[in-house]
Chains A and B, each alone.
Chain A
Amino acid sequence: MKKKNRDDSGGLKTVIEPNGKNYQYWKDIWRYRGLALNLAKRDITVRYKQTVIGLGWSIISPVINMLIMTFIFGSVANLQSDGTAPYDVMVYAGIIPWTLFSKNLSLASTTFLSSAALMKKVYFPRIISPAGGSLAALIDSLISFGVLLLIILISHLTEGFTPSWRIVLVPLLFVFPILLGFFIGLFLSPLNIRFRDLNQAIPFFLQIGQYVTPVAYSFAVACAAVPEKFRFIYSLNPVAGAVNVVRWCIIPDNEFHWPSFISMLVFIVAFIPIGIKAFRKGERTFVDLV
């Protein structure tokens, strides 16, 4: 059955009925996978067109961010780093999953507005549009991961820090913040059609989230600061789970934190169906509403 798309389409029957009954939705997504790739390529190329250092910007901005956080939290506030890791390594290891999460969430939640012009003219499975953005975000993160390796190498040479062997798993772990952000974003996307307030609110909450989540400081420090009775609730932050697991892979004496990890898995498993359902409801009607 799995022939190349265009050849077998001659006999493929499509039925269009009210209420979005679509018997080949998932097949369509597979057929349009090339479009997701093209959209990702467009996002990345367009972003750095007519810039001098081009792709360098996707390195510079997280690095500067990391330097600021390291200075404020590590040097000024003099917070404890995570185990043997230098403060900058720990911060950078947190920035990567956090950025993946927040980018995925915001691009998935705004997809109906940002691609409205295209979606009102052409049919393609709508999920392809945020998927393309997500792919672009992933590529950025892989570049960031390269930078992280460089930072680790430098601290190995200067401070003698040796990462855990588990570091090889890190790129695989990116799947967690992506799924988490993407499907929560999909869940929010139809709301964004009717209530544009979300357009303003989401970046705002993401900014708060960045400080609630242990990005600029270690999870242990944060837990110590939270009152005893709220500590467990605090540790259920699913994004913290995504951040912790990346740090666990890099820092040798970091202890695996189960509650946040399991909470993250639960969130992901729950939001995949919820997100898809909400998104599909949105994609059926948004053309008439936007």
Chain B
Amino acid sequence: MEAVKTDDRPTILKVENVGKKYIIKNLKTLPADASGMQKLRYRLKKYEKKDFWALKDISFEIKKGERLAIVGRNGAGKSTMLKLISRITEPTEGRIEYYGRVAAMLEVGTGFNLELTGRENVYLNGAILGMTKEDIDARFDSIVDFSEIGEFIDTPVKRYSSGMLVRLAFAVASTMDPDILIVDEVLSVGDMKFREKCLRRMDEIAQSGKTIICVSHVMTIVRGLCNRAIVLDKGKMIYNGEVEHAIKLYNGINEAARITSRDLDDLPRPKFLNEKMRMLHVDVLDNKTCIYNWNEPIRFRVRAEAKTDAEDVSVRAVFRCDNGTPAAVAFLPLHADFKAGDVKEIEVSVDRHNLAPGDYKVALDLTQDNPYDIYNNVDSVSPEAFFITVRNIGAEEHAVEDNSARLWLSSWGHSRIMDVTGKVVE
């Protein structure tokens, strides 16, 4: 666990043996041959109560300035943990201690009143988040500015588009200045442009040395924002330490294991495809985990069969993010000719330096050059052929020659343009 370094920063939050129990009611089952007495008892008491521990024996600490991610599947207890820290509900056992003020960036629109104007809502929402009137006064202009609401600030928010509402809510929430900031899946808001702006703001907050606790299912956000992570699974903490390892664990929980070898024949194909070719199988080469560090090329081998004669066949790989956004494309500058019935294997090696750290789905297409349509797909697997994770580990050694490689902010996008030249014009 790399995170356990000697760290002389003061502890700002301490969670000790915390557990949260809920009592759930289950409908009892009545045996088919129940006696009259049993039936009567069943009528009176249909439900049996059961203890359910949403969290159990959770202990961790956060130092001042640390940015902790809480990772886990739905129902792992992440939100319960945040609710305990933000005092919305109290633990059943254990103890939480912190210094200063905790504030949560809320689900967008909580505490907004649709009848009130934007301005009135800014003050109301600010007060709900624990800001004083002077706080809000001082930030009002920057809130309006950030939200791009402009002249609509005195219009009732029920007349706002949903995007405007979301922008205003985020703008208010992100100007909070608590000692510990809780971020719970609020970043996927608004249109692309605003989302970028939100991420940039979050990056700024993260770089400003603020203590952050973040819950997200989007691993690129976790990577970009946090420098430590804990993994929860079924209410228990199974890991506390380095972000990359936590993500690996989380993905492990997610998919059991990464596939390095996969039959593609059965996968669905898009409609209206000219199926001259059929990809049968893909093997990921030289890598058992599909996790790529710095300087490790992504290599794979595709086996394909020709249904009819096909010339100039090549491979195209599209890298998509967690959420499906295409991030980058790779063309193999090599062509193969097939006769009907031929089965051939094509090996591809992709340099990953241009790709941001993150999880990607790799979709494969077979393309055929022809004089009329250069992007003629002859086969295509969707949504993806295999998963990969790209990491920046190992980049430090290259930092001298390539300083920007060490760090990749989420607001920088997913791929980097290489071969940039320029000169200083005096």
Contacts and interface: CB of A to CB of B under 8 A. Distances in A.
Given A42-B113, A45-B120, A122-B88, A5 B132 contact: yes
A14 B97 CA distance: 6
A124 B130 contact: yes
A74 B123 CA distance: 47
Nearest to A5: B132
B60 interface: no
B237 interface: no
A15 B96 contact: yes
Given A121-B106, A288-B22, A16 B101 contact: no
Contacts of B113: 42, 46
A288 B91 CA distance: 11
Contacts of A124: 128, 130
Contact of B95 (A16, A49, A50, A119): A16
B84 to A, nearest CB: 7
Given A45-B120, A118-B110, A118-B111, A9 B89 contact: no
Contact of A122 (B84, B94, B104, B177): B104
A19 to B, nearest CB: 8
Say what secondary structure dominates the interface of chain A. Answer: helix
12 contacts: A6-B177, A9-B179, A11-B99, A12-B101, A15-B95, A16-B85, A32-B130, A41-B120, A121-B88, A121-B106, A122-B110, A122-B128
Given A11-B99, A34-B132, A16 B90 contact: yes
A6 B135 contact: yes
Contact of A118 (B84, B87, B95, B128): B128
Interface in B187-212: none
B393 interface: no
Nearest to B101: A9
A46 B115 contact: yes
A34 B110 contact: no
A207 interface: no
Contacts of A288: 22, 89
A203 to B, nearest CB: 24
B100 A10 contact: yes
B93 interface: yes
A17 B91 contact: yes
Interface in B380-413: none
Given A14-B99, A18-B94, A284-B90, 20 more contacts: A9-B179, A10-B179, A11-B100, A13-B98, A14-B97, A15-B96, A15-B97, A17-B96, A18-B91, A18-B92, A31-B130, A32-B130, A39-B124, A41-B124, A42-B116, A45-B116, A45-B120, A121-B104, A122-B86, A122-B110
A80 B352 CA distance: 95
Interface in A104-151: 117-124
Nearest to A118: B111
A38 interface: yes
A12 B111 contact: no
Given A38-B124, A121-B106, A122-B128, A6 B101 contact: yes
A54 interface: no
Contact of A35 (B88, B94, B95, B127): B127
A42 B120 contact: yes
A19 B83 CA distance: 16
A46 B98 CA distance: 37
Contacts of A6: 101, 132, 135, 177
A6 to B, nearest CB: 7
Contacts of A284: 90
B115 A49 contact: yes
A287 interface: yes
Contacts of B88: 119-123, 287
A118 B85 CA distance: 17
B310 interface: no
Closest 3 CB pairs of A and B: A38-B127, A123-B87, A16-B96
B371 to A, nearest CB: 61
Interface in B15-69: 22
Contacts of B116: 42, 45-46, 49
Interface in A240-290: 284, 287-288
A15 B18 CA distance: 12
Contact of A287 (B89, B102, B106): B89
